[in-house]
C-alpha cells in the first residue's frame, strides 16, 4: 500500500508542476500541443481547443508539451513568438505551482495537527541551554543569523552546524536575551545537542494556519537549499542522496509506522511528505542546470538582458548535455537507493 501511495503522491506533485506550465501558457496564448497524465504507452487521448489531452500507461508524473524545444515558426501561438517575459512566466510557472501546492497542503496539515511553536518545553540539566539560563517556557527567536518561527528550525540548524558555537536569542517574561552556546556531544545518541526539546503542537485557527503554512513552506525550501550547500561543500556525499526508489522506501516505511495509529495519522504523515517533495521539486527545478526549468530561465534572462535570442540549436545542445548528465546522476542515485534496500 505504501508503494502505491508513493507513486500517487509523486505523480500528483509532478502533474501539479506541469499544470503550472500549462495554465500560464494558455493565459499567454501559447499553443500547448499535449498535456499528459502519466508516462509511456498511450491509453487514451482527446483533442480539445488545439491541445491533445492524454492518459498514459505508467502513473508516474506527466508532461506539458508547448514547443519550447522546437524551432520558431510564424504562428501567433508559437512559444518562441511570445515576449521573453511571457516565456519566463511560463517556464517559472511549474516551480511556482510546486510552492503553491506545498502551501495549500501545509495549511491543511496545520489545521489538522497544529504547529510546533519554538518554545522550550524541557531544558536538560548538564547541557549548554540550561547552563546559559534558558528555562522551560522560554521562546527561541533567533539562532545564529536565522530567525526562528517553528521549533524544527532549531533542530535543523543544529543538524547542519554540528558542534559549532552559536548565538541564541530567546524571550523570557517578555524580555529578549542573547547567549552563546556550544553544543555538547551526546555519547548515547552520537549527536551534538543544545539540550532543549519541544512540547505538543499548538492548535491553529484559520489565520494561524495560513501564517504557519507560510513558515512551513519556507522551512522546507531553506532545508533543501541548505542540503544542496552541504552537497556542494562535500559535507555530504552523493551516496546520501535519495531518488525515486529511496522516496518510495521512505513513504512505505512512514505508512507502515503511522498506520497503526489510525487514518488521520496516516493522512498527516503523507501530507508532510508531500509538502517536502513539492517544495523540494520546486527548488530543484529552479537550479540553473541545463534541461531543468532553472537552466531554461538562465537562457531567457540572458536574452532579456541582451535583447537578442540565443540560437535555438546552441541552446538545444546545452540542454541535451545537461539532460545526459542528469540521467547519469539519476542512475548513480538509483543504484545507491537499491544498494541501501539490499544491504
Domain ranges of the chain: 2-31+66-112+276-342, 116-200
Known catalytic residue: 18? yes
Give the pLDDT band (50/70/90) at residue 317. Answer: confident
Q: Quick one: what percent of the chain has pLDDT higher than 70?
A: 92
25, 171, 195 from 121: Cα distances, Å = 49, 13, 11
Mean pLDDT of 61-71: 78
Q: Which helix (H) or strand (E) holds 51?
A: strand 51-65
Query: What is the model's pTM?
Result: 0.88
Classify residue 80 by its DSSP letter. Answer: G
The one catalytic residue in 18, 31, 153, 216 is: 18
Distance CA(199)–CA(5), nearest Å, equals 30
Q: How far apart are the first and last CA of the chain?
A: 23
pLDDT of residue 216: 96
pLDDT tens column, 157-193? 988 888 899 999 999 998 999 999 999 998 888 889 9
Residue 85 clears pLDDT 80, i.e. is over it: yes
Q: Is the dihedral of CA 279, 217, 298, 65 positive or negative?
A: positive
**Of 300, 275, 326, 313, nearest in space to 91 by CA:** 300
Question: Quick one: cell of 179?
Answer: 547567549
113, 181, 228, 241, 269 from 260: Cα distances, Å = 17, 39, 34, 29, 12
pLDDT of residue 95: 96
pLDDT tens column, 246-291? 777 788 888 888 888 889 999 999 999 999 999 999 999 999 988 8
Give the pLDDT band (50/70/90) at residue 297. Answer: very high
CATH 2.30.42.10 assigned to domain 116-200? The reply is: yes
Q: Is the dihedral of CA 280, 286, 288, 293 positive or negative?
A: positive
pLDDT tens column, 94-148? 999 999 999 999 999 999 999 999 999 999 999 999 999 999 999 999 998 899 9
Amino acid at each position: 500500500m505504501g508503494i502505491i501511495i508513493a507513486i500517487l503522491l509523486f505523480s500528483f506533485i509532478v502533474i501539479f508542476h506541469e499544470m503550472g506550465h500549462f495554465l500560464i501558457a494558455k493565459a499567454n496564448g501559447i499553443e500547448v500541443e499535449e498535456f499528459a497524465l502519466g508516462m509511456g504507452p498511450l491509453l487514451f487521448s482527446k483533442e480539445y481547443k488545439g491541445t491533445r489531452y492524454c492518459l498514459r500507461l505508467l502513473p508516474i508524473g506527466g508532461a506539458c508539451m508547448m514547443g519550447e524545444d522546437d524551432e520558431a515558426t510564424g504562428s501567433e501561438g508559437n512559444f518562441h513568438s511570445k515576449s521573453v517575459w511571457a516565456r519566463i512566466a511560463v517556464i517559472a510557472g511549474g516551480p511556482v505551482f510546486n510552492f503553491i501546492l506545498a502551501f495549500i497542503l501545509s495549511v491543511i496539515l496545520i489545521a489538522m495537527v497544529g504547529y510546533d511553536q519554538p518554545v522550550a518545553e524541557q531544558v536538560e540539566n548538564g547541557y549548554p541551554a540550561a547552563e546559559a539560563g534558558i528555562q522551560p517556557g522560554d521562546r527561541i527567536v533567533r539562532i545564529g543569523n536565522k530567525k526562528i518561527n517553528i521549533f524544527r528550525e532549531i533542530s535543523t540548524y543544529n543538524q547542519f552546524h554540528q558542534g559549532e558555537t552559536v548565538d541564541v536569542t530567546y524571550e523570557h517574561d517578555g524580555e529578549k536575551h542573547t547567549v552563546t552556546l556550544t553544543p555538547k556531544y551526546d555519547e548515547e545518541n552520537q549527536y551534538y545537542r543544545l539540550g532543549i526539546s519541544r512540547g505538543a503542537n499548538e492548535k491553529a485557527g484559520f489565520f494561524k494556519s495560513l501564517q504557519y503554512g507560510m513558515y512551513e513552506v519556507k522551512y522546507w525550501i531553506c532545508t533543501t537549499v541548505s542540503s544542496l550547500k552541504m552537497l556542494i561543500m562535500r559535507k555530504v556525499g552523493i551516496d546520501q542522496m535519495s531518488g525515486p526508489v529511496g522516496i518510495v522506501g521512505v513513504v512505505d516505511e512512514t505508512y507502515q509506522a503511522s498506520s497503526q495509529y489510525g487514518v488521520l495519522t496516516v493522512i498527516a504523515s503523507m501530507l508532510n511528505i508531500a509538502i517536502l517533495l513539492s517544495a523540494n521539486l520546486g527548488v530543484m527545478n529552479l537550479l540553473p542546470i541545463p534541461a531543468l526549468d532553472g537552466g531554461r530561465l538562465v537562457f531567457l534572462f540572458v536574452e532579456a538582458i541582451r535583447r537578442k535570442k540565443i540560437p535555438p540549436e546552441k541552446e538545444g545542445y546545452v540542454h541535451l548535455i545537461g539532460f545526459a548528465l542528469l540521467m547519469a546522476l539519476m542512475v548513480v542515485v538509483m543504484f545507491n537507493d537499491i544498494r541501501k534496500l539490499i544491504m
